[in-house]
Every structure is written in structure tokens, then in C-alpha cells.
Amino acid sequence: MAATAGISLVALLLSGDECSACHDPTRQDRYGRTWVVCVSNKPQLVRWDGDSAIPVSSNLNAKDWDCGTGSSPKWIGSGVSNYPVGTLAGPYGGDKRRTATATNGLAAPPLLLLPFTPAPDKPKTAPDCDSSYADVIHVNHLQNTVSLTGGCTLAWKATVTVPDAPLQVVTTSDGRFALVTSFSGGVTAIDLSTFKVAYTIPTPGGVTPNGIAISPDDSRLYVTNFDTAGMLLTIDLASRRVVSTLPTNAYPSGAVLSPDGSQLWLTFPFGQTVWVVDTLSNTLAAQIAAPQTTGVAFDSTGANAYITSSQNAPGTVFQVNTQTFQTVKTYTVGTGPGDIWMSFADDFLVVNNHEGNSISVIDLKAAKVVTASTGNLPMGIIPVRILP
């Protein structure tokens, strides 16, 4: 799992109203500029409109273009050989030059598809790093360590050893500490100014800490015991001790607080419900029918919660009203959804589908879902600043 320190940096960058990779590219998308073609053995300037070639008025000098070879024209002064019909063209190398049909009244002898224009040069220097980029904290479960990576350079900065099998991490609102659960027992506090262990909070014997959440005022930690004897532990950070426990169903995993901190939502990847705990009384307030759940995300007002469920293939995201605890909508995503993240403007949800090797983006305004393969096992979502 991963989190950011302070206000910061999404593993996925969202911009505009739709994903540019969510439709098949037309020739206009691919080439996006004007071309010279031969019509009736004379040069004609055209542009792409979707997959159609549209003539553009021009003052091309016929003597400057070779339209007598039966191939795509070339500028006489270029010094290059002709481009025979049938050879590959276009930046993707997938289109072969062939005879095409002219449009807008220019029906004539062949309108030929042309070779691609060279791609623009890459920037010679990388963009300047922005000092406001926060560092990224990530847990190395099998190595029993937690690492710090620069949010600007993405370079490794530091690593600290923690108790065996660390799982999840949160940071205090002032950015001073990161708190990490270890399945072997205990919660470790890391001082982010030095990236060294500041202290460890012991948990009762037999407890295997997993999910973790911190109250908005940084006064309390909520930790789940991932075991058949499920339990929610409440830890007072000032005294660094467990102050209350609440028995739960077996194997509670995620612990996510509503924006105002009044509700704590617990997920159960092997269960059939999601628990909502009233944090004032530390009692069960509601159970929501949602099977095999992992992640929860809230909109900015806390009016809606979005829960990932992996019981079916493909998976499901439940939208739940946080006042009535009723499911108001469902979205079909990839197989095995886990992590879920809400965009800052409440426009999009990003979902990691671990079992399906894919990521789903839910457009909440359009009520549409786009799922794209990642080719690997996506785990963890980190919000990042988007470059202008």
C-alpha cells in the first residue's frame, strides 16, 4: 500500500472529459495536419477529417511536385526516392499506401495516402522539479521495510526497517509522522523529518494488524485485526495505547473514515457485508450488503461512499448513500477490484483491478466506465500533482 506525506501528489493523470485512449484513433488523430496528394496528376493540399481527406485551397506549384510516378508525391527538391504504393505509411506503421477516394466533389484519379511526418523532437531537458511535490511513502511487505521516494524525481531517498510484514500506512495531518501496521503485531510511528522509527505501539497478543485510519484531529488510530476473531482496535495517540476494542466479523481488512470522521467503514474481503462504525460511541451503526469488499472512497461531501467488490467477475463498485446506507447505483469494473480513489473534483473514480490486470476509470457525471489493461498487477494509488 502507499500514501503521501502531507498535501501532495494520482498514479493516473486525468484530464479533459474523456480518455484519449478510449477510442480507436482516426487518421485525423494520428496525423492531424495537411498533406499534399495527387489529383488528376496535379498536387492538391488536403487535411484529414476523421478518416476522410478534405481538399484545402492552396497555391501549390505543380512543377514542384512529382505527380507522374503513380506513387505518393514528393517535393522535387527533396532528393528522396518515390514512395511506392503498398509500402508502410504513418507513425504507427500499420497503414499501407493505397489508392483512396477523394471527397467533397474531388472524384478523380487516385487520391493517395501519404507518408507520415516525423514526430516532434523530445525535449532536450527534463522539466524543472517542483518543490511542492510531496515525497511518497511505500510499504515493502516482504522486505519488512518502509521506503521514501521523491515525488518530483521519483528517486529513492531512504528506507527504514519495521516489524515483520508491514501492510498499510497513513500519515498525520501535519505531515510529521507516518504510522504503519505490521501483521506480526504493533503499529510503528516513523518520524518523517528524519525517516527513522520514533516509537512502536504494541498491540495485544494474537492481534494481526492490517487496515489503519487516523482521525482528522490526529488523536486516534483505528486498526483492524485481520483474523478469524475479527476486531477493531482504537488507539489513543497521546498515550500510545489501545483504549477500546470492538469485535467484528472475521477478517476485517480496510478501515476508511468519512471526511468528517464521524463514520468508520470496514471492509471484509471474505465476508458479505461492510460495517459502518459510529466513531463517537465506537459501536456498530449499520451493516451494508456488499460481498467480498476491499476498498472504500468517499466524495468530498461524504454524501456517497463507493465500495469495491470482487465476488463476481467482472467486479463491482457499489455507490451507497451514507445517510440511508442504501445502495443507489452499481458500476461494473474489471475483475478483482481493490484500491479505489476519488478525484478531487468528484468527477472520476479510479479502481485497481488486481486479478484482472487492469484499471477502471468511472466517469461519475456521464455514468460510464472505461477499463484498460495494465499488463501487470496494479496495487496502490497515489495522487500526484498534474503538470500544466
CATH code for position 291:
2.130.10.10
Count of domains for the chain: 2
CA distance 33 to 280: 62
108 shares a domain with 137? no
CA distance 238 to 199: 12
User: Which pLDDT value is given to residue 281?
Assistant: 92
353 shares a domain with 301? yes
152 shares a domain with 223? yes
Domain of residue 83 covers 34-112
Q: Is residue 378 part of a domain?
A: no
The SS3 assignment for 62 reads helix
| pLDDT tens string 358-367 | 999 999 999 9
Angle at 155 between CA 154 and CA 157, to 5 degrees: 120
pLDDT in tens, the chain (388 residues): 444 433 333 333 332 333 333 344 444 444 444 566 666 667 766 665 655 666 665 566 666 666 665 445 554 554 444 544 444 444 334 444 444 443 333 333 333 333 333 444 455 455 566 666 677 888 888 899 998 887 777 778 899 999 999 999 999 988 899 999 999 999 999 999 999 999 999 999 899 999 999 999 999 999 999 999 999 999 999 999 999 999 999 999 999 999 999 999 999 999 999 999 999 999 999 999 999 999 999 999 999 999 999 999 899 999 999 999 999 999 999 999 999 999 878 889 999 998 898 999 999 999 999 999 887 777 776 665 444 4
Cα dist from 346 to 164, 213, 215, 310, 326, whole Å: 37, 21, 22, 23, 20
301 shares a domain with 170? yes
Q: What is the DSSP letter of 185?
A: S
Chain-centre distance for alpha carbon 97: 38
180 shares a domain with 64? no
CA distance 120 to 383: 30
Residue 143 has phi, psi (to 5 degrees) of -95, -5
275 shares a domain with 202? yes
* Domain end among 112, 143, 163: 112
Q: What is the DSSP letter of 259?
A: T
263 shares a domain with 367? yes
Q: Is residue 117 part of a domain?
A: no
User: Which pLDDT value is given to residue 39?
Assistant: 67
CA distance 145 to 166: 7
| pLDDT tens string 20-54 | 333 444 444 444 445 666 666 677 666 656 556 66
193 shares a domain with 51? no
Q: Is residue 23 part of a domain?
A: no
Residue 309's DSSP bridge partners are: 293, 316
165 shares a domain with 276? yes
User: Which pLDDT value is given to residue 60?
Assistant: 63
227 shares a domain with 85? no
* Domain end among 68, 85, 112: 112
The pTM of the whole model exceeds 0.75:
no
Q: Is residue 368 part of a domain?
A: yes
Nine-digit cell string for 131 = 518543490
Matching residue, cell 468519512:
258
Burial of 210 (0-12, 13-18, 19+ CB in 10 A): buried
Q: Is residue 161 part of a domain?
A: yes
Q: Which helix (H) or strand (E) holds 256?
A: strand 255-257
* Domain end among 44, 79, 112: 112
Q: Is residue 231 part of a domain?
A: yes
274 shares a domain with 163? yes
Nine-digit cell string for 185 = 503485531
277 shares a domain with 250? yes
Q: What is the dihedral of CA 327, 333, 338, 341, to 10 degrees?
A: -80
Q: Is residue 362 part of a domain?
A: yes
Nine-digit cell string for 130 = 517542483
Q: Is residue 48 part of a domain?
A: yes
The closest alpha carbon to 5, from 207, 218, 148, 198, belongs to: 148
